[in-house]
């Protein structure tokens, strides 16, 4: 097998396809690159057909931290469960490939993507779909390929669309649109957007479809090159589940009964009626027939249900719950549903019910990400839970499944564009959506409930966001676009098209399409119908909660920010963190210091004000003329050191402690005495000279040498031994004030510079 490599350029980016050297025992394998970013994609198809009534496809996306030159954290020092980004990428590859296989394909297929190099410039996710498609093609696997996936961004300067933008280009774009499909139709869409119009979104999708075609052509060119060097690809034969006419005919005699069973608006009642009918139909077959046709019988029962539902919609214009095509189910909205929590919202649409709960925290509680992407963390976290009781079933509770991660990510993208900047609202934000009932569109209900929770919690979002799921039925030559689809319309329909946005435009979009006849005219109609549906739903929400509350709840932490000079950060932190730890312990506040000198202080009650005042005192530089009431912390032959502010002492010379000549400072002042002083001078080294306000008369017993009245250079030389050399100012001796925190450079700090961030609770 010869190594085949093809390098090409499309839309200003360079790509490489390669096969024939790595993973040769797989059914198919390909190396795909964008820039230096490299992914190895492999496909293995089992030799035996599985006894399933579904297509057993598995996609694994393996993030390897060696791809970015990092060692995994933790005790084991190896990659564990997939990150959310890895799970979302696996889903992104799965969704266009799954419907491309022929009906009745029952051999197990596993696609594995291994990240070899992540150059921190070019994303690896979209090119992995192209690699999977090429691996399937080279392996001779029957599917409707080639397939490709592209990301579309938009230049903020020129407004032109960008194909497969770099991370830097994505950051500057108001659109992040991912499409996958063939050169003829789109089968998968994911998008996040900054409130862009339906017209702009549709234009981006049309542009993306043409880009997909270009990448499909490059795959075909590679296959031609492969076959010239290695001979024709061996097209493998895989047995398919062939329809059995007798089974189909016997089952479809119950068509009218199925149509009647489906005409029930209540999901549980309808499901029970359909299940009873299927059980009765199955019982009509003999035991020998049920064994012989154990796959064909359930497959045809599903076909019966599907055709009855679809025909009802296109022929009568009425859906199984009696709604018209563009009608929204009844909506219930409640804000402030839970006490004490930081914010909550309940949203119900039909038989789908979601309770979203808000929690606010310090910015240092943001989620840290350990992935191959150049993203360190995220401040807004949206999580979605789908317990089995939400559909009236039993099941295992545990880690979130791929579907839950995907739905949570969609709701997160929907709300990100309207969140306030952290300079305006310096909080980490977590919203959890608990699905309590489900009958379709639970991710869109989560978006609406989470928007309510944010507004209820006083998060100053720009505008309310609502979401709706659209569907499509193409049957008997007719096409119907459905608004607010329920579970059966998603399961048996041709399209699941979710759209979220504000009154100004779209913020997120997700589509899975099974219909090859999906045109841009149909998409245009779906987007316009979705816009009207979103407006209706948003109206119901703002009727209950017109705008975000003016302030956060009393149970939420109050966070303020103060700015300190960068060169004062070490003083706020203190040696070994003693100062910042002391402030937190004494006030009860939490403190987070940024490397630019921004200090976030959070807490409840008066703890925030107390901590802010302490910090301001630490960084304050006394100026000549300022007056203080200080405490004597050290007494020397030449004068007394007086504490003015935390970490800042000044020298009150012996000549200024009293009216008249003083022989010993202790005759007038002792450690612990409070004294009112005025700043005379602050030199360029930070040394503070003081004068006493309201000097008392010197004691009659105090007398001494004349030269004690004026200390000169010899005194100042001795003063140096009491300066804080790390800050160029006087300090007290530790034995006189063991409770005071004096930030000094420790041996371990030398040469390290200012720490990037320090936080201790």
pLDDT band at 575 (very low <50, low <70, confident <90, very high): confident
534 and 565 co-located in one domain: no
The reply to whether 357 and 438 lie within a common domain is: yes
Strand partners, 642: 632, 650
| Same domain membership, residue 12 and residue 148 | yes
Q: Is 87 exposed, middle or buried (0-12, 13-18, 19+ CB in 10 A)?
A: buried
pLDDT at 400 > cutoff 80: yes
Q: How many Cβ atoms from other residues are within 10 Å of residue 5's Cβ? A: 14
pLDDT at 707: 44
Same domain, 492 and 365: yes
**How far apart are the C-alpha atoms of 115 and 93, rounded to whole Å?**
14
Residue 496 labeled ligand binder: yes
Comparing CA positions, the residue from 243, 32, 192 lying closest to residue 117 is 32
Q: Are residues 310 and 431 in the same domain?
A: no
3-state secondary structure of 377: strand
Q: Please state which of the ranges 268-282, 335-349, 709-723 shows the lowest mean pLDDT.
A: 709-723
Distance CA 333, CA 215 (A): 46
pLDDT tens string 129-156: 999 999 999 999 999 989 999 999 999 8
Residue range 220-241: average pLDDT?
92
| Packed helices 520-544 and 442-456: angle between N→C axes, nearest 10 degrees | 40
| 40: its two tokens | 């190895």
Of 230, 264, 280, the position where a domain reaches its end is 230
- Average the pLDDT over 514-529 and give the result: 89
Residues 514 and 599 in one domain: no
CATH at 694: 2.40.50.140
Work out the average pLDDT over 675-693: 91
Residue 552 lies in a domain: no
Closest CA to 437 of 496, 500, 350, 356: 350
The pLDDT assigned to 732 comes to 39
Q: At 6, is the secondary structure helix, strand, or coil? A: strand
Contact 94, 44 (CB under 8 A): no
Model confidence at 520: pLDDT above 50: yes
Q: Please report whether residue 498 resides in a domain.
A: yes
State whether 725 and 754 are in the same domain.
no
Q: What is the pLDDT of residue 747?
A: 36
Q: What DSSP character marks residue 240? A: B
Q: Model confidence at 264, in pLDDT bands (50, 70, 90)? A: confident
Q: What is the mean predicted confidence (pLDDT) over 683-712?
A: 72
- Would you put residue 600 in left (φ > 0), alpha (ψ -120 to 50) or beta? beta
Q: What is the pLDDT of residue 705?
A: 42
> Does the pLDDT at position 724 exceed 90?
no
Same domain assignment for residues 616 and 726: no
Q: Is 397 exposed, middle or buried (0-12, 13-18, 19+ CB in 10 A)?
A: exposed
- Specify the range with the lowest mean pLDDT, choosing from 268-282, 421-435, 703-717: 703-717
Q: Number of folded domains in the chain?
A: 5
In this prediction, residues 526-532 reach a mean pLDDT of 96
Q: Which of 246-255, 289-298, 517-526, 712-721 has the lowest mean pLDDT?
A: 712-721
Least Cα distance to 224 among 306, 322, 328, 137 occurs for 137
Residue 382: φ, ψ to 5°: -120, 125
User: Which residues in 506-597 belong to E strands, given as ranges?
Assistant: 506-513, 558-563, 590-593
Judge if 359 and 223 occupy the same domain.
Answer: no
458 near 550, Cβ under 8 Å?
A: yes
Q: Work out the mean pLDDT of the chain and round it to a whole number.
A: 89
Domain assignment present for residue 492? The answer is yes
Window from 23-32, 306-315, 332-341, 425-434 with minimum mean pLDDT: 306-315
Asked if 598 and 562 sit in the same domain, the reply is yes
Closest CA to 357 of 348, 346, 367, 349: 346
CA separation, residue 51 to residues 59, 247, 401 (Å): 20, 18, 24
The pLDDT value recorded for residue 729 is 40
326 found inside a domain: no
Domain with residue 270: its CATH number is 1.10.10
Read off the pLDDT of each residue in 109-120 and give the average, rounded to a whole number: 97
Burial of 521 (0-12, 13-18, 19+ CB in 10 A): exposed
Percent of the chain with pLDDT over 90: 67
In a domain, 371, yes or no: yes
Residue 432 lies in a domain: yes
What CATH number should be reported for the domain holding residue 592? 3.30.1370.10
Angle at the Cα of 103 from the Cα atoms of 98 and 106, rounded to 5 degrees: 75
CB-based contact 287:293 (threshold 8 Å): no
378, two tokens: 């995220």
Which residues lie closer than 8 Å to 668 by C-beta, 6 or more apart? 657, 658, 662, 696, 698, 699, 702
Q: Against a cut of 0.85, is the pTM above it?
A: no
pLDDT tens per residue, range 177-229: 999 999 988 999 999 999 999 999 999 999 999 999 999 999 999 999 999 99
User: In terms of domains, do 471 and 398 share one?
Assistant: yes
- Examine the pLDDT at 524 and tell me if it is beyond 90: yes
Of 316, 343, 359, which residue is a domain's last? 316
The whole-number average pLDDT for the span 332-359 is 97
Phi, psi of 506 (to 5 degrees): -85, 135
- Mind spelling out the 3-state secondary structure of 26-40? CCEEEEEEECCEEEE
Least confident of 309-313, 671-675, 713-717: 713-717
SS3 535: helix
Tens of pLDDT along 588-637? 899 999 888 899 999 888 888 999 988 888 888 888 999 999 999 999 99
Tokens coding 636: 């020397």
Q: Which H/E stretch holds residue 7?
A: strand 4-10
User: How many Cβ atoms are within 10 Å of 695's Cβ, its own excluded?
Assistant: 15
The whole-number pLDDT of residue 702 equals: 63
Residue 207 inside a domain? The answer is yes
Share of the chain above pLDDT 70, in %: 92
Same domain, 185 and 262: no
Mind listing the pLDDT tens digit for each residue in 97-113? Answer: 999 999 889 999 999 99
Least-confidence region, from 284-293, 361-370, 558-567, 696-705: 696-705
User: Within a 10 A sphere around the Cβ of 240, how many other Cβ atoms?
Assistant: 15
Query: Which range marks the domain in which residue 292 is found?
Result: 245-316
Asked whether residue 338 is assigned to any structural domain, the reply reads yes
Of 292, 316, 340, which closes a domain? 316
- The CA distance from 444 to 145, in Å, is 32
Residue 592, annotated ligand binder?
Answer: no
Sign for the CA dihedral angle at 519, 521, 522, 524 comes to positive
């Amino acid at each position: 097998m010869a190594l085949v490599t093809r390098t090409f350029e499309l839309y200003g980016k360079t790509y490489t396809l390669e096969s024939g050297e790595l993973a040769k025992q797989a059914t198919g394998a390909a190396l795909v690159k964008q820039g230096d970013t490299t992914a190895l994609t492999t496909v293995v198809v089992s030799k035996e057909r599985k006894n399933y009534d579904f297509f057993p496809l598995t996609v694994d996306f393996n993030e390897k931290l060696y791809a970015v030159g990092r060692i995994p954290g933790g005790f084991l020092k190896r990659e564990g469960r997939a990150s959310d980004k890895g799970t979302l990428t696996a889903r992104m590859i799965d969704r266009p490939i799954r419907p491309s296989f022929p009906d009745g394909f029952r051999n197990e297929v596993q696609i594995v993507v291994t990240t070899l190099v992540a150059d921190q410039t070019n994303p690896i996710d979209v090119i992995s779909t192209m690699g999977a498609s090429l691996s399937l093609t080279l392996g001779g696997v029957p599917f409707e390929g080639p397939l490709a996936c592209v990301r579309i961004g938009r230049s903020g300067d020129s407004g032109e669309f960008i194909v497969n933008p770099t991370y830097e280009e994505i950051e500057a774009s108001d659109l992040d649109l991912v499409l996958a499909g063939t050169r003829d139709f789109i089968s998968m869409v994911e998008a996040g957007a900054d409130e862009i119009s339906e017209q702009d979104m549709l234009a981006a999708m049309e542009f993306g479809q043409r880009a997909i075609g270009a990448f499909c052509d490059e795959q075909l060119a590679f296959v031609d090159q492969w076959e010239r060097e290695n001979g024709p690809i061996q097209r493998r034969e895989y047995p398919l589940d062939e329809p059995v006419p007798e089974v189909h005919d016997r089952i479809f005699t119950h068509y009218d009964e199925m149509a009647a069973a489906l005409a029930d608006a209540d999901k549980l009642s309808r499901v029970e009626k359909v299940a009873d009918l299927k059980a009765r139909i199955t019982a009509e077959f003999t035991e020998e027939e049920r064994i012989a046709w154990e796959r064909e019988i359930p497959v045809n029962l599903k076909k019966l249900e599907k055709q009855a539902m679809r025909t009802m919609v296109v022929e009568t214009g009425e859906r199984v719950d009696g709604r018209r095509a563009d009608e929204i189910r009844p909506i219930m909205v409640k804000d402030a549903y839970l006490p004490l929590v930081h914010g909550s919202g309940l949203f119900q649409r039909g038989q789908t019910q979601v309770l979203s709960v808000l929690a606010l925290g310090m910015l240092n509680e943001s989620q840290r990400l350990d992935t191959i992407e150049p993203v360190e963390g995220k401040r807004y976290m949206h999580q979605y839970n789908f317990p089995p009781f939400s559909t009236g079933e039993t099941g295992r509770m545990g880690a979130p499944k791929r579907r839950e991660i995907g739905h949570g990510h969609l709701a997160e993208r929907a709300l990100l564009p309207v969140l306030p900047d952290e300079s305006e609202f310096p909080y980490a934000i977590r919203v959890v959506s608990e699905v309590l009932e489900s009958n379709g569109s639970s991710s869109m209900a989560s978006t609406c409930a989470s928007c309510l929770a944010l507004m209820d919690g006083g998060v100053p979002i720009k505008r309310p966001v609502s979401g709706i799921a659209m569907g499509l039925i193409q049957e008997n030559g007719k096409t119907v676009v459905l608004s607010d689809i329920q579970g059966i319309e998603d399961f048996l329909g041709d399209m699941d098209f979710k759209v979220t946005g504000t009154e100004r435009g779209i913020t997120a979009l997700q589509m899975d399409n099974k219909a090859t006849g999906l045109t841009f005219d149909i998409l245009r109609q779906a987007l316009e119908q979705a816009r009207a549906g979103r407006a209706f739903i948003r109206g119901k929400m703002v009727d209950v909660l017109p705008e975000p509350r003016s302030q956060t709840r009393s149970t939420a932490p109050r966070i303020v920010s103060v700015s300190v000079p960068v060169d004062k950060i070490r003083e706020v932190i203190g040696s070994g963190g003693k100062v910042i730890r002391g402030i937190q312990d004494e006030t009860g506040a939490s403190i987070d210091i940024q490397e630019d000198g921004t200090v976030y202080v959070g807490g409840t009650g008066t703890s925030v004000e107390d901590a802010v005042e302490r910090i301001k005192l630490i960084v304050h530089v006394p100026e000549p003329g300022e007056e203080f009431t200080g405490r004597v912390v050290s007494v020397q032959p030449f004068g007394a050191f007086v504490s003015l502010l935390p970490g800042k002492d000044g020298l009150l010379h012996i000549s200024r402690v009293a009216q008249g000549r003083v022989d010993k400072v202790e005759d007038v002042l002792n450690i612990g005495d409070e004294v009112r002083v005025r700043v005379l001078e602050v030199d360029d080294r930070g040394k503070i000279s003081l004068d006493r306000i309201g000097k008392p008369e010197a004691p009659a017993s105090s007398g001494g040498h004349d030269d004690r009245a004026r200390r000169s250079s010899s005194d100042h030389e001795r003063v140096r031994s009491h300066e804080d050399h790390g800050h160029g100012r006087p300090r007290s001796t530790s034995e006189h004030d063991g409770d005071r925190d004096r930030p000094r450079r420790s041996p371990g700090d030398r040469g390290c510079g200012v720490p990037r961030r320090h936080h201790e609770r």
